[in-house]
Structure 1
Amino acid sequence: MELNQRTQFPIVHIFGIPFSKLNMNETVRYLTDAVQSGRPHQVITANPIMVMAAMEDPAYKTMMQNADIIVPDGSGIVWAAKTGGDPVAERVTGFDLVHELLKAGENYRWKFYLLGSTPEVIQEAAERLQMQYPAAIIAGYRDGYFGPDQDDEVIEGIQAVSPDILFVARGADTQEPWIARYKERLGVPVMMGVGGTFDVVSGKTKRAPKAFQKLRLEWLYRLLREPTRFKRMLALPKFAVKVLREKENVTKPS
């Protein structure tokens, strides 16, 4: 069994990207320990599109490899690990992990900071999450519409409330590199990119129906609702073809 060298939990490599083999409950326990350690940890909830981006961009791949834990968000990752002969325990979606951490946060009175999306969406998401998890503390939030010249201001705003967990929703091509760049400076024990989670929480968009989730077709539901995602979605068949062509090498470290 291959282990993460820093944290000693089991991992499987998908084209050189080290994915956690922990199930949802084990992941929450790991992140609970991370909060209690006080040391900054970057969590990436990754899908095949992100793996393909890493294949094309060495800097992005290095950034992913340096994360403290990468969970298998996309069903395609679960399929690839199984196809490569080294399966993960289960799919650990970012949306569900956000809610599980907020549940845990009620027990520990953790403080959360929400960063990203539009001013209207982030405010609505913060209010709804605070109502849903009243014993957790939504200590602060702000929208994701800021440029590099405002990074210092944003970081200072986060530091001012000393959150235990930071959720960032700025798109996979932006949020993960931003967290990695400022991880040590932010100093938040758990920092995690959450994609479109705030849009769903706020009611702006709907999560794929259970039938789509069970059939692992959430990507199709999103594409039907947002046809502009088509170009981005082209990475999915490319990923599937790569897995099938390189089956024996899918789970080998690169």
Structure 2
Amino acid sequence: MMTSMTKSRPSDAAKVPTVSIYGLPFSKLNMNDTVAYLTAAIEQRRVTHVITANPIMIMSAQEDPAYHAMMRTAEMIVPDGAGVVWAAGYVGEPVAERVAGFDLLHRLMAEGETRNWSVYLLGTDQQTIDTAAANLQRKFPRVRIAGVRNGYFGPEQDAEVVAAIREARPDLLFVARSASTQEPWIAQYKAELDVPFIMGVGGSFDIIAGKLKRAPVLFQKLRLEWFYRLLQEPSRYKRMLVLPKFVLKVIREKEKVTKTRPIS
């Protein structure tokens, strides 16, 4: 399918300083500079898929070459997990700060207030996505909600979903699907979607809708937001077991972490 979207140019990507963590280029920009960079990309209608990555995703990419290759197609990878921030500093290539996807969503919505942007919300169950949309509309009344759709659809419905988003022509598309589906789906269809900014937001809609609470500031400062979420969702414990494995891997392989190598 042809699209009117202009592809990102090499010069655009060169403006973002990065550190390679197991072959994945993480942005070193702080939150303010990230928002400024993305705002320019949105205004220029440049395709920009942002991945808010954490250690679990890095480890998944190490185990799955296809997932690693998919992540590298993103226009920007930001350090969402505290473990990523730690790893970058540990190997002597520090990032400015953690750029949390939840905060980035809200910063871009605030930017959209002054720029007449529109947003499409895709993912989770219908009740949650409707409530999240209503809450965001109340908080950002000048951002137009171009559409909402739950995330319960299979490959046979992809064309229908993509067509609906293209017709809505949002400036921002936030996607919340399963960990194994979210980013691969965006990567597969971003050229057809014709949306200048696309980002997977994981469980952010649950928090926005009031189903879950975000970690208190103290937990965030102590880099224990993952632990607070585990207290709310104990079923996530198996995924969380990857975190100490990541730390040990980085410590053991300190000299190799920043080398460009797809799979260990």
What TM-score does the superposition give when structure 1 sets the normalisation length?
0.96
Task: Trace 1:88-237 onto structure 2 (pairs within 5 A).
Answer: 88-237=95-244
Q: Which residue of 1 aligns with 2:74?
A: 67
Shift of residue 29 of structure 1? 1.0
Q: Is the 8 A contact 2:120 2:170 kept in 1?
A: yes
Shift of residue 150 of structure 1? 0.8
Any stretches of 5+ residues in structure 2 without a counterpart? 1-9
Q: Measure, in 1, the Cα distance between the counterparts of 2:104 and 2:225.
A: 17
Moved more, 220-229 or 192-201: 220-229
Any stretches of 5+ residues in structure 1 without a counterpart? none
Moved more, 119-128 or 205-214: 205-214
| 2:64 aligned to which of 49, 57, 76 | 57
Change over 3 Å in CA distance of 1:5–1:127 after alignment to 2: closer
Aligned residue type for 1:61: H
Superposition CA RMSD, Å: 1.3
**Are 2:83 and 1:87 equivalent residues in the alignment?**
no
Question: SS at the partner of 1:22?
Answer: coil
Q: Measure, in 2, the Cα distance between the counterparts of 1:140 and 1:68.
A: 24
Q: Measure, in 2, the Cα distance between the counterparts of 1:176 and 1:11.
A: 20
Aligned residue type for 1:32: T
Q: Is the 8 A contact 2:212 2:232 kept in 1?
A: no
Question: SS at the partner of 2:52?
Answer: strand
Moved over 4 A (4+): none
Q: Measure, in 2, the Cα distance between the counterparts of 1:59 and 1:5.
A: 25
- Corresponding pairs, count: 252
Moved more, 50-59 or 4-13: 4-13
Shift of residue 130 of structure 1? 0.6
Question: SS at the partner of 2:78?
Answer: strand
Question: SS at the partner of 1:90?
Answer: coil
Q: Measure, in 1, the Cα distance between the counterparts of 2:89 and 2:237.
A: 27
What TM-score does the superposition give when structure 2 sets the normalisation length?
0.93
Q: Measure, in 2, the Cα distance between the counterparts of 1:130 and 1:61.
A: 35
**Are 2:50 and 1:43 equivalent residues in the alignment?**
yes
